[in-house]
Structure 1
Amino acid sequence: MRESTGKVLLLDDDESILRSVGRLLGASGYHVLSFQSARALLDSDETETADCIILDLGLPDSDGLHVQETLAAAGGGQSIVFLTGRGDIPASVRAMKAGAVDFLTKPVEAETLLAAVNMARQRACALREVEEKKASAVRRLRSLTAREAQVMHLVVAGRLNKQIAADLGTVEKTIKVHRGRMMTKLGVRTVADLVRLVAVADPPDIGPKSNYDQGRR
């Protein structure tokens, strides 16, 4: 048995499509879960970890565009591929503008569908990697003490140790200690590394800022 290359959720009210597409993806190493109603898919926890969701446009209890909107409103970053028998240009434009990876019509060539799903999987993996890096950076930044956070903000702002000491009303030796502890906790060696870490986390409220930093806003 081939090692799974990812999880795919398949939503279609046509059992023959569920079987044929499921077999195709399964043979290509994907773990496939099939759903025949929008409600069943939206109620499933599997959407949170899916690498790709294949949606039909016309469903008995909803439509694929509504499912796409609902998933997006819930904060999901799922990679979606539409596979429908009644697609039109306005629907395809709306789906692609909302972030769909591809909009395919039935019947579809196996190679075309597999290429779209693989692209969706790659996008999902890239998004997860970005989110994991951001979460790791935020965790590290939140480990700082109040004073270390103030020093961090000033270092990122380009202030020297002597300037930071004056800004915070202390001596340069103390700033060097706080700065060293801050850099160690964050796992960075250089100011450039620190700036990149803060940029990845993009935290608007990580730790207190100094009066100097607040005054620059």
Structure 2
Amino acid sequence: MRADATAVTREEPVVFVVDDEEPMGAALRRLFAGAGLRTEVYATGEAFLAREPLDVAGCVVLDVGMPGMGGLEVQAHLHGRAPDLPVIFLTGATEIPVAVAAMRAGAVDFVEKPFDNDDLLRRVRTAIERQALHRDEARRRREFARRLATLTPRECEVLDWIVAGKTSKEIARTLGGSHRTIEIHRGRIMEKTAAESLADLIRMHLLVGASAPARRIRSEDT
């Protein structure tokens, strides 16, 4: 794959701490900032949700039991605005059932107080890296779908047969036409998709969705 075709510039991640206890918020700020992570601390869920934008790179460290808007309610609101922003809940011993409910609702992790600083930092870094990988894959999928959408209907048919493992001669017999014509189509497909090899082209097709033929992708995007 050409390096410049899918290169992305990652945003600087932000660790959002949402905890109504000021000493805890201050301690977590020191922990994350000391590890070189940009950190923002909010004393209430309402204050955090008022931030714009929320759909950013990073992670939320969210206290379950806060007065006013509780952790689960904050999570529900966040899911609608920033569904891929990972949430790690901080819980007390009596709040484990709530934390389990939070995990079922999409939280990536929960940590019981008192916690080990290094362990929490490791979990936050893991959550941030996973989000970054998922975002990179989503960007690649969108870019590959855009490229496949530039193919003509005939090129889409040829691509489907290429992915099925057919040679140019076999494709020519199936679709009609000459071997030379199919070779021309193959060359145009490689050029339009910026694939460097057959394996590269197949990976691109599979990433967009093997269950969605190129011609279907094209029709949905137009």
* CA contact 1:101–1:119 (8 Å) conserved in 2: no
Q: Which residue of 2 aligns with 1:68?
A: 75
Q: Which of residues 26, 37, 45 is equivalent to 1:30? A: 37
Alpha-carbon distance in structure 1 between the residues aligned to 2:175 and 2:98 = 58
Structure 1: where are the runs of 5+ without partners?
Answer: 210-217
Q: Which has the higher contact order (CA 8 A, sep 6+)?
A: 2
Structure 2: where are the runs of 5+ without partners?
Answer: 1-10, 218-222
- What's the % identity of the aligned pairs? 34
Cα offset for 1:137?
1.8
Q: Which residue of 2 aligns with 1:103?
A: 110
Q: Which residue of 2 aligns with 1:123?
A: 130
Alpha-carbon distance in structure 2 between the residues aligned to 1:136 and 1:94 = 36
Alpha-carbon distance in structure 1 between the residues aligned to 2:99 and 2:136 = 28
Alpha-carbon distance in structure 2 between the residues aligned to 1:44 and 1:141 = 37
Deviation readout 1:139-158 (Å, 9 max, x if unpaired): 22123233222211121122
Cα offset for 1:43?
4.1
- In structure 2, what residue type is equivalent to 1:207? R
Cα offset for 1:162?
2.8
Cα offset for 1:16?
2.6
Q: Please report the RMSD computed on the Cα atoms of aligned residues, expressed in angstroms.
A: 2.7
Cα offset for 1:75?
6.1
Cα offset for 1:116?
1.8
Q: TM-score normalised to the size of structure 1?
A: 0.80
Q: TM-score normalised to the size of structure 2?
A: 0.78
Structure 1 residue 94 and structure 2 residue 65: aligned?
Answer: no
Deviates more, 1:97-106 or 1:28-37: 97-106
Cα offset for 1:208?
4.9
* CA contact 1:11–1:38 (8 Å) conserved in 2: yes
Alpha-carbon distance in structure 1 between the residues aligned to 2:165 and 2:82 = 35
